[in-house]
Amino acid sequence: MEKYKIPGQTRIGHVHLKVSDLQKSLDFYCGLLGFEITTLYGEQAAFISAGGYHHHIGLNTWQSKGAGPAARNAVGLFHTAILYPTRKDLAIIFDRLRQASYPLTGAADHLVSEALYLDDPDGNGVELYWDKPKEQWKYNPDGTIIMDTLRLDLQDLLKEI
């Protein structure tokens, strides 16, 4: 079989999460992170987006209402990554989280991006990040991208706002 290469314009369209409490999830994703509700399915599900897209995130309690968080060492989603357009946008959401005393689980400079890590109310991992300009990325001799997990200077990030 011939090797297949996915088209370069392909994007991951949305993530759909099972949650235990729809309102708590809406408070986090909409109230804190700023997503907008595009569709509600009663008290069981919601679709939310940035910028009027039909949905970037689906939230539902169809099989998970009142359930506890998944075990950390179980198979499943590691985190949902939310890409911000600029470093300033990442700084603004970081300041919002800081003012709300919402705990981070980490913050990293990956050389190609800068990221904040936190958990949603159900313990689902969330990465908030921005990509550095591609011209700043460095490559190994074999063409693979050089990435790392270095400490992100949060005070420097706040200088963006």
pLDDT tens profile 26-39: 999 999 999 999 99
What is the pTM for the complete model shown? 0.94
CATH number of 79-161: 3.10.180.10
State the pLDDT confidence band at 71, using cuts at 50, 70 and 90. confident
Averaged pLDDT, 57-76: 92
- Flag whether pLDDT at 72 surpasses 90: no
pLDDT > 90? residue 58? yes
- Quick one: pLDDT at residue 154? 98
> Looking at residue 70, what is its pLDDT?
86
Residue intervals of the chain classified under CATH 3.10.180.10 are: 13-63, 79-161
Strand partners, 125: 119
pLDDT at 159: 98
CATH topology for 13-63 is: 2,3-Dihydroxybiphenyl 1,2-Dioxygenase; domain 1 (3.10.180)
Asked if 128 contacts 114 with a C-beta cutoff of 8 angstroms, the reply is: no
**What is the per-residue pLDDT across 106-155, written as a single tens digit (0 to 9) for each?**
999 999 999 999 999 999 999 999 999 999 999 999 999 999 999 999 99
pLDDT of 76 > 90? The answer is no
Rounded to whole angstroms, the Cα distance separating 127 from 143 reads 26
Closest CA to 57 of 47, 65, 66, 67: 47
- What is the side-by-side order of every strand in the sheet holding 57-60? 15-18, 57-60, 45-49, 36-41
Pair 119, 154: CB distance under 8 Å: no
| Residue entry with tokens 């999460």 | 17
* DSSP alpha helix (H) spans, the chain: 22-26, 87-99, 154-158
Across the chain, mean pLDDT equals 96
